[in-house]
Each structure stands twice: as structure tokens, then as C-alpha cells.
Structure 1
Amino acid sequence: MIGSLRGVILDRSARTEHAGEILLEVGGVGYRLLVPAGAMGRIGALGAPAFLHVHTHVREDALILYGFPTREERACFEALIGAHGVGPAVALALLSVHSPTALRRAVASDDLDALMLVPGIGKKIAARLLIELKSRLDVSDDDPELRVVGAGDGGGPDVRSEVRAALAGLGYGPDEVRHIVADLPEEGRVEDLLRRALRDLAASR
């Protein structure tokens, strides 16, 4: 089983709305890896060195490699595909919209709407995921990373970064994202700001 790969990026392309594909050359061998669309910008440019944490997914008819910039993202992906009714495509979509911290925050606060921002996840699936992921993601109410960001927390820039990454993962262009995020408040929950950004984007089209 392949757990990680270090090499040079030979090619990169959008595979679906929520997944990209990286061709990583390691020791003369090219490995094709699917990655969350929101992570494409963090992995590197063509010809650049890259290191990816890898999940090897074995099916009867295929062996598929999924790559992630961080160990936490891979762990989140593995927790998600272990949940009932969640396949790799939905797990990648979730990680394209939400960072691991934002996803754990949504689970800790029972935020159905945050999960339903992901195409393909309706209310029933979101409710079931909230129950299953509480144990799979090891969500603790005492975790300081899962606090609700509000006035005086000083978390504005980080919150906006998560919103930008989520919008990019949903397929919005850099100019659209830059314009919409600039009008958002500097403080608030990622999920609330993302919902507002999506409403503003829909109204501007």
C-alpha cells in the first residue's frame, strides 16, 4: 500500500468540479493521483517538487490513488469514506468545500447547512453524517480549534482564507472569489460567510 509519494509534477488538470488529477513522477515512474479541487493550488506548479500523503483505494476493477497536501486531510478523507453512503467522490467534494478544521467545527456544532453546501448531500445524508463523523473525526467539545469565531477572536484572515479555498473548490474563478470575499465581514463562522458568499455570487450572475 502506498502511503506517500515525493516527486515532480509532470501534469495537472481538473478531473471534475471537485477533483483534480496530478501526474507525479517518482524515480522515473508517473503516478496519477486524484486530489481535492481546493488543494490544487497548494500542491505546486508544473515541474515543481511535491510531497503528497496518499490513500490507496482498491476496488475489484481498479486501484486508485488519492493525494493530499497534509496528513490531516488524508485522515479526514479516510474517516469520510468509512461513513455509510459516502464514497471517494463525495469525500473529495467535502474536502474541496471544507478544510478539516471547518468540517470538524461543522460536526461539533451540528451544522446541517454547512454539510449541505456540498452538491449531492441532502438533509438526510447530512444528518446521518453528523452522527457518524462525531466519533470518526474524534470531535471534542474542548478542542480550542473548534470554537466559533466571533468578535475579539482575531480569526478574520484565517476565516476568509477558508472561504476563498471553499469557493475555489466549488469552481469559482479567482476574480469572482477575490471580489466577493473582499465584501465579506472580517469575522464570523466560515459556514455563515460561505453561505453569504454563495448568495452574493448567485445574485451577481
Structure 2
Amino acid sequence: MENRRLRSTVSLHEHAAENLLFIRDAMERASSFTAVPGWGGVVMGLAGLAAAIIAPVQHSRLAWLLTWLATAAVAVGVGLLGVLFKARNEGVPLLSRPARQFALGFVPAIFVAALLTIVLYRAGLDALLPGMWLLLYGTAVIAGGTFSIRIVPLMGVLFLFLGAVALFTAPPVPAICLGLGFGGLHVVFGVLIARKYGG
């Protein structure tokens, strides 16, 4: 009798522990990655606006490309710092399931953009770079943004729109689209995120 009661108690505890793990897992899956940096996005946008002014007056293809690549490097650094600060302030673990899902959605399109940048530049198809960058960045933002706050995928859709315009128009429209996307959209959505979702 005593053994049966003990087995029943142990079984009940095991069942409760399994239920708690299931609930925790479901809550983690249902939650979204909220550490998207608003003010970091604004700084990224200001860097993009600066590049949109500086790059077109460069005297060579390489200088134009290096201007945008340097800006991208600055933006990545600012974005990562923004995520780290916001995650720390909000108590969001960077290795949580939503954070991993955001990264897994975001990174592949950026990797493809980096490879295509090399290929298109070497082929002398620089005119396609603005459209390709905007389209793939928009794809990355939408894919990662599905695990984030609602406003993020909307920004990605607008990047796709600008990328499509840039891809099928002649200069100076692609350069303007780059400035509107990597500059304007980051600033506008950065302010919206900062005000509505805390920094």
C-alpha cells in the first residue's frame, strides 16, 4: 500500500514536471523577439543616409562599393550593440528560442546578398546591386521579423518594394531607393519601434 502511494506520488510529480516543461516550451515558442533596437535602427538609418550622399560622388566603382560596404559594417556593429543593450535592459535572453528563430530567419538572406555582391561586382553588373541589396535585406527582415514585433515585417515589405523599383529603373532612381531604404526606412521605423516598444 505504502509502495503504491509512493509510486503514485512520484508519477504525479513526473507528470507535473512534464506539463511545466511543455507549458514553458509553448510560451517560449509563442513569445516574440522584442530586442529589436529602435534607437539603434535610427543610427543605422543615419549611416545609410550619409552613404546615400557620399557614394554617388565617388570617382570609381570600387570606391562606391567600399562606401556602402563600410556603411554596412557600421550598421551591423550598431545593430548588434543595440540588440545587446535592449536585450539586457528588457531581460530578454539572447539564446532564447525567439532570438534564435529571428537570427535563423535573418542571416541566410544576408549571406546570399554578400555572395551575390561579389559575383555581380566581378561581372561588372554594379547597376543590379542596389535592387539586389534592398530585396534581400527586405527578405531577411520579413523572415526574421516573423519572430519579432509586428512592425518589423512591414518594414521588410517596404524594402522589397524599393528593391523592385531599384531593379527595374535607370539611374539615379536605384541610388535614391538605397537612400530611402537603408536611410529613411531605418530612421522612421527605428523611431516607431523606440517609442512603441521601448528603445
Q: Same fold (TM over 0.5)?
A: no
Bigger Rg, which one: 2
- TM normalised by structure 1 equals 0.25
Q: Which has the higher contact order (CA 8 A, sep 6+)?
A: 2
**Structure with the higher fraction of residues in helix conformation:** 2
- TM normalised by structure 2 equals 0.26
**Structure with the higher fraction of residues in strand conformation:** 1
